[in-house]
């Protein structure tokens, strides 16, 4: 069993012990993921990047992954596969010869 599957199973067990599956539809999971992403931003707000509290970064990242994994599970998506597929799209959008050393969006390259 993959580590992602093990983590997702543990998240589902935590959810089911609390009878929270009724709340965990993909829309609300996506909203929760966005809220957690904002909490991650808050860790950096008004600080230099190196001043961020890494313990808080760790916690907010864990929240983000938890919701992302549950959304993927809802749609029976294979996380390594979908990330790999998206990276292939990004390789085409950002060819090395155009994108190397540039922070421009692909539409500006
Ligand atoms: Mg959080």
Instruction: Specify the pLDDT at position 47.
Output: 98
From ligand 1's centre to the CA of 68, what distance in Å?
13
From ligand 1's centre to the CA of 52, what distance in Å?
15
Q: pTM to 2 decimals?
A: 0.92
pLDDT over threshold 90, residue 1: no
Instruction: Specify the pLDDT at position 41.
Output: 98
pLDDT over threshold 90, residue 86: yes
Angle at 98 between CA 96 and CA 104, to 5 degrees: 110
**Digit-coded pLDDT (tens) for 66-79:** 999 999 999 999 99
From ligand 1's centre to the CA of 80, what distance in Å?
24
**Digit-coded pLDDT (tens) for 10-69:** 999 999 999 999 999 999 999 999 999 999 999 999 999 999 999 999 999 999 999 999
From ligand 1's centre to the CA of 88, what distance in Å?
31
Angle at 9 between CA 7 and CA 65, to 5 degrees: 40
Question: Domains in the chain, please, with CATH?
Answer: 1-77 (1.10.287.1080), 78-109 (no CATH)
Q: What are the tokens at 22? A: 């009724």
From ligand 1's centre to the CA of 51, what distance in Å?
19
């Amino acid at each position: 069993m993959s580590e992602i599957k093990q983590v997702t199973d543990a998240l589902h067990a935590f959810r089911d012990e609390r009878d929270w599956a009724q709340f965990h539809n993909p829309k609300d999971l996506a909203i929760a993921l966005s809220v957690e992403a904002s909490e991650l931003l808050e860790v950096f707000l008004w600080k230099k990047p190196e001043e961020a509290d890494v313990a808080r970064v760790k916690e907010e990242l864990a929240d983000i992954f938890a919701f992302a994994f549950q959304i993927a599970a809802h749609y029976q998506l294979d996380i390594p596969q979908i990330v790999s597929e998206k990276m292939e799209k990004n390789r085409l959008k950002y060819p090395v010869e155009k994108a190397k050393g540039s922070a421009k969006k692909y539409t500006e390259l």
